[in-house]
Amino acid sequence: MKVNMMHGAGGEVMGELLQTLTKFRNNNAGGIGLEAMDDGAVIPLNGQNLVFTTDSHIVRPIFFPGGDIGRISVCGTVNDLAMMGAKPIALCCGMIIEEGFEIDDLARIVASMDEALGEAGANLVTGDTKVMERGALDGIAINTSGIGIAKTVVRDNGLLPGDAVIVSGTLGDHGIAIMAHREGFDLGEQIKSDVSPLADLVEKILAAGTVHAMKDPTRGGFANAINEMARKSGVSVRVREEVLPIRKSVKSAAGMLGIDPLEVANEGKIVMGVPASDAEAILKALHAHKYGKDAAMVGTVTKGAHVIMETQIGGERFIEPPMGDPVPRVC
């Protein structure tokens, strides 16, 4: 067996690869480390919860509607920290650059990273650079790692029966924007990536009420995220199709491309389970923030297993985790 593109796509096939990649005995056992398969690791330190995460980025194209590889490299790491309830403090960055890469493009990427860092309230504190010969790399690859402090750690396995399921905004924007751009569709400003740093939004959410579980629906999209949350929590989730927030332009483009918008990556959204009693307060906090104005309560958590969609025509169907992201190299 050899590694293929599906192994990096965030779906069921990637899970097979992770069985090999996570066979470490030195993995922070007893804390929240590698064995938890969460967005980051929690390291107890002097009575505080230090959260640590890392992410690598190989986006194609490097510049896309709504963002670029620099913005996504910062936002991806900031958001992984935020999903654990942590306020980001410091990031590091490693760049692998292909010989012949334009210095002007590199400056544009750095400026984009700097802007995202400022918005997130974090700092880049160290880094590393390597250059590879022409043809050995597709332009540039960026790794970012980050640390943050969490007063209360939030995990993705805490869904409880009776919880309301909330998404912080429209789904499928990033993946469909990337794919439409690759295919040469000129859609103007109708579809663009949602790539955004969510630390401030999460801070407002946690101040408004209790969050039992939280995850950003990146590779594999909402379908993968909600299935992973339900499986880890040992519960069932029922989702109402009619209230899922998906832009009409995204639905149309997804139809032309033959892609389910629930299965493609988002880079500025949150899926969360909250007590029903706190749902309205949390929705109010979301709607007051620029990155949460399209938030919606989309379902409920029940006893059982599986994720079930109640369709607009009155039927039901399973929402299955995708085998892999239908749009590779989006993050």
Q: What are the sequence ranges of the domains in the chain? A: 42-150, 164-318
What is the average pLDDT across 207-221? 96
Residue 262 has pLDDT above 70, yes or no: yes
Cα separation of 163 and 157, whole Å?
A: 13
Q: Give tens-digit pLDDT for 42-57.
A: 888 888 899 999 999 9
DSSP designation for 327: S
Q: Which of the pair, 218 or 18, is modelled with greater confidence?
A: 218
Q: Give tens-digit pLDDT for 290-299.
A: 999 999 999 9
Cα dihedral sign, 105-107-110-114: negative
Residue 11: per-residue pLDDT:
54
Residue 237: per-residue pLDDT:
98
Residue 330: per-residue pLDDT:
86
Q: What is the DSSP track for 192-238?
A: -------HHHHHHHHHHS--SEEE---TTHHHHHHHHHHHHHT-EEE
Average pLDDT over all residues of the chain: 90
Q: How confident is the model at residue 82 (pLDDT cuts 50, 70, 90)?
A: very high
Measured at the CA of 261, the angle between CA 255 and CA 267, to 5 degrees, comes to 140
Enumerate residues 6+ apart whose C-beta is below 8 A from 256.
185
Against a cut of 0.85, is the pTM above it? yes
What is the average pLDDT across 153-166? 96
Enumerate residues 6+ apart whose C-beta is below 8 A from 150.
42, 49, 51, 84, 85, 86, 87
What is the average pLDDT across 237-266? 94
What is the average pLDDT across 277-297? 98
Q: How confident is the model at residue 245 (pLDDT cuts 50, 70, 90)?
A: very high
Q: How confident is the model at residue 5 (pLDDT cuts 50, 70, 90)?
A: low
Q: How confident is the model at residue 331 (pLDDT cuts 50, 70, 90)?
A: confident
- Determine whether 282 is exposed, middle or buried from the number of CB atoms within 10 Å of its CB (0-12, 13-18, 19+): buried
Superfamily of domain 164-318: PurM-like C-terminal domain (3.90.650.10)
Cα separation of 94 and 198, whole Å?
A: 22
Cα separation of 157 and 5, whole Å?
A: 28
Enumerate residues 6+ apart whose C-beta is below 8 A from 10.
218, 219, 220, 224, 265, 322, 324, 325
Peptide bond into 61 cis (omega under 30): yes
Residue 187 has pLDDT above 90, yes or no: no
CA-atom Rg of the chain in angstroms: 19
Given 2.40.50.140, 3.30.1330.10, 3.40.50.1170, 3.40.50.2000, which CATH number is that of 42-150?
Answer: 3.30.1330.10
> Would 42-150 and 164-318 be classified into the same CATH topology?
no
Q: Which of the pair, 283 or 35, is modelled with greater confidence?
A: 283
Cα separation of 302 and 233, whole Å?
A: 11
